[in-house]
Chains A and B, each alone.
Chain A
Amino acid sequence: MTNIIDHYVDQHIADTAHNSEVMPAWLVQQKQSAIEQFKSCGFPTLRDEDWRYTSLKSVVSKFFEVKVTETTASVDLEPFLLEDLDCYRLVFIDGRFSLQDSTMPQSVEGCDISALGSMSLIELEQAPPALTKGGTVSNGFSALNVAFSKDGYVVQIADQTQLDKPIEILFVSASDNVAAQPRSIVQMGRFAEAVLIERHVSVQGLTALSNSTCQIELNENSKLDFYLVESMDSAATQIHSLDAELAKNSTLSCRTLTLGGGLVRNNLKVSLNGEGAHCDMFGLYNTAGKQHVDNHTNVIHAAPHCTSNELYKGVLDQRSRAVFHGRINVEQDAQKTDAIQTNNNLLLSANAEIDTKPQLEIYADDVKCAHGATVGQIDEASLFYLRTRGIAEADARSLLTFAFVNDVMERVDIEALKDSVSAELAAKLIDEKVDLRSEA
């Protein structure tokens, strides 16, 4: 039996033989060095400090197939679409772009939205530096992503351009035992503004892996609202890495809303490189059953007068587990930094577990950095108060749970998205109650 490393290395050899002619030489080279890196580092283990609370046993024991052909599985998208969301839409099935399911903007000036896999050799030569310079390879997953990625979205918004509608990118895992490896790039010009929604879903019961990366570059005074909505089935695994570089006076707002997925790991790295840059990072995770959700965030204050505001809220039920690891680095030159980080957790079951770990590394002396983490349960006094007003216990519990996540939900500015996340959360809380009853 081949080992798991060889399994991927062999697929890479087959893939290269099949595709290298349609790729520029630098990209072939990039992929080659990524697979070499994967060969030497392999998958992270519990011994890696950044992965010590997240066991990957279930993922690394599976021999996922990385699709080398371009055929996409046929799948009914209807259940995954948000009816009231007025947006441009790019659909990726098993990591490959599906033009027929997408709604592309027709000649919006200053806005170039395309799929990496559809780019010609000439277009690839002019691709944003985030692609050409090779991406960030920080662990086995990002190495695999660079080595195997053929597709992903590429969004380039020109200077002074404001996109009229949000762009939704829907990633659908539709084939069993397939590892999708989308690699995406966003480049915001000076004073450009856009709203981007990444949604990840999977067909029920499929053992799928989605290993996606996104590199974002914000030029001076640009503004990007980024939503990551994770609703995969509990049989699926999701590894998501987002890497953002912010120039002077630019603003990035990230909302990471995790409701689904058996094992989910989000790596969010934001570098504030230019004076006056600002980033918001709001997160919500609701876990049940045996779900495991790990949010790893890192904000790097590399320039003076930058601000970052981070708030993650978790609701954990049954035997689920969540990890929050928030690191803030303040470099020597980053005077007048103002950074806040908060992680609050609500445990609905005695068997749920949260590992929360704030980490501050500060090398400047004139900064404001605050962090705090809490873990609690439904407040019995509040519960009793609501019940004495005629509200049934189950309703009171769900009301208090919603109240707990309210300050993150309030940051979801797109009504259709807020409604769908609320509905998904409500349905999940009800399911959990039903499960509890059947367990009893």
Chain B
Amino acid sequence: MLSINNLHANIEGKKILNGINLEVGTGEVHAIMGPNGSGKSTLASVLAGRDNYEVTEGSITYRDQDLMEMDPEIRAREGVFLAFQYPVEIPGVTNMYLLKAAINAVKKHRGLDELDAREFLKLIKEKAAMVEMKQEFLYRSVNEGFSGGEKKRNEILQMALLEPYLSILDETDSGLDIDALKIVAKGVNLIRSQERSMILVTHYQRLLDYIVPDYVHVLAGGKIIRSGGKELALELEEKGYGWIDELAAA
């Protein structure tokens, strides 16, 4: 699905990623953990195509294509989805409008028929129920005045609608209380399948109680310094990120 080789990236001349290597197979869920400033969110942004990062070395192959050659919208249509840590509020654009434009952009790209109003409404109601989102939120401006939990739920709704092959969830658990976290995790687990891969970027082990990963990677100083199974997350929780600093220094 995804193959990252020796990825180096700068932001405004400052080195953030220092040679990331990561293989994500189809159907796998990978968690990337690490302390603040380790480069987790940068990695997520680079995968989605944000242009304020400069990739200086390395390559990213996604479904046998060079991901770096694609604009963000092409990545999205090819099945890459980023759930934002801080979803953007867009006053004046209704959630419905965005969702419909998004799904039809994806369908058109894949040579499929676009959904008409009725088909779309049926689909969106089904997906909204899946993430327990009240319908009134569909008719409001994108994320405007949404609580933290509602914004994250809206991200998962978009993900459920677009059915991406590769989902990157950037600190989706941050700022959520336990009830909101459970709803979000439930949505993610419903989308999880043999055909879809996921990367969960998180600071805390807590999320992984609800979305159990196949692999856990520890990121520090812009490099993956340790990889393992889900038990690595527990070890990290127990020993704290200080342990990571020791590992990194060694």
Q: Which residues of A contact B (CB under 8 A)?
A: 379-382, 384-393, 395-396, 399-400, 402-407
- The reply to whether A389 and B71 contact each other, CB–CB distance below 8 Å, is no
Q: Which B residues touch A380, using CB under 8 A? A: 52
- The reply to whether B90 and A390 contact each other, CB–CB distance below 8 Å, is no
Q: Which residue of B lies closest to A403 (CB)?
A: B92
Q: Which residue of B lies closest to A396 (CB)?
A: B73
- The reply to whether A388 and B49 contact each other, CB–CB distance below 8 Å, is yes
Please indicate which of the listed interface residues B92, B102, B109 has the most CB atoms of chain A within 10 Å of its own CB: B92
- The reply to whether A390 and B77 contact each other, CB–CB distance below 8 Å, is yes
- The reply to whether B93 and A389 contact each other, CB–CB distance below 8 Å, is no
Stretch at the interface among B80-88, B189-197, B233-241: B80-88
- The reply to whether A384 and B98 contact each other, CB–CB distance below 8 Å, is no
The answer for the CA separation of A406 and B141 in the assembled complex, in Å, is 11
- The reply to whether B71 and A391 contact each other, CB–CB distance below 8 Å, is no
Judged by a CB distance under 8 angstroms, whether B106 is at the interface is yes
Chain B contact patch, size range: 20 to 34
Query: Can you list 19 A-B contacts (CB < 8 A)?
Result: A382-B88, A382-B90, A387-B71, A387-B76, A388-B76, A389-B98, A389-B101, A389-B158, A390-B101, A390-B105, A390-B109, A391-B101, A391-B102, A392-B73, A392-B105, A393-B71, A395-B101, A399-B101, A403-B90
Q: Which residue of B lies closest to A410 (CB)?
A: B92
Contacting A at CB under 8 A, from B46-88, are 48-52, 71-73, 75-77, 81-82, 84, 87-88
B92: contacting residue among A395, A396, A404, CB under 8 A: A404
- The reply to whether A400 and B48 contact each other, CB–CB distance below 8 Å, is no
The answer for the CA separation of A389 and B92 in the assembled complex, in Å, is 17
A interface majority secondary structure: helix
- The reply to whether B90 and A407 contact each other, CB–CB distance below 8 Å, is no
- Report A347 CB to chain B, min CB distance, Å: 17
- The reply to whether A384 and B92 contact each other, CB–CB distance below 8 Å, is no
- The reply to whether B90 and A384 contact each other, CB–CB distance below 8 Å, is no
Q: Mark B97-109, 1 if CB is under 8 A from A, else 0.
A: 0100110011001
- The reply to whether B72 and A403 contact each other, CB–CB distance below 8 Å, is no
Q: Which A residues touch B93, using CB under 8 A? A: 399-400, 402-403
Q: Which residue of A lies closest to B141 (CB)?
A: A403
Q: A388-B49, A389-B105, A400-B90 are in contact. List 18 more A-B contacts (CB 8 A).
A: A379-B88, A384-B51, A385-B88, A385-B90, A387-B71, A388-B73, A388-B75, A388-B81, A389-B98, A389-B102, A390-B106, A392-B73, A393-B71, A393-B73, A402-B93, A403-B91, A405-B92, A407-B92
Q: Which A residues touch B49, using CB under 8 A? A: 387-388
The answer for the CA separation of A403 and B91 in the assembled complex, in Å, is 7
- The reply to whether A384 and B72 contact each other, CB–CB distance below 8 Å, is yes
Judged by a CB distance under 8 angstroms, whether B199 is at the interface is no
Q: Which B residues touch A393, using CB under 8 A? A: 71, 73
Q: Which B residues touch A388, using CB under 8 A? A: 48-49, 72-73, 75-76, 81-82
- Report A404 CB to chain B, min CB distance, Å: 6
Q: Which B residues touch A391, using CB under 8 A? A: 73, 98, 101-102, 105
Judged by a CB distance under 8 angstroms, whether B181 is at the interface is no
- Report A425 CB to chain B, min CB distance, Å: 13
Judged by a CB distance under 8 angstroms, whether B162 is at the interface is yes
The answer for the CA separation of A335 and B106 in the assembled complex, in Å, is 58
- The reply to whether A390 and B102 contact each other, CB–CB distance below 8 Å, is yes
Q: Which A residues touch B52, using CB under 8 A? A: 380
The answer for the CA separation of A157 and B247 in the assembled complex, in Å, is 85
The answer for the CA separation of A376 and B52 in the assembled complex, in Å, is 19
Q: Which A residues touch B88, using CB under 8 A? A: 379, 381-382, 385
Q: Which B residues touch A406, using CB under 8 A? A: 91-92
Q: Which A residues touch B141, using CB under 8 A? A: 403
B72: contacting residue among A387, A395, A407, CB under 8 A: A387
| Top-7 shortest CB links A-B | A403-B92, A406-B92, A390-B105, A390-B76, A389-B102, A387-B72, A385-B88
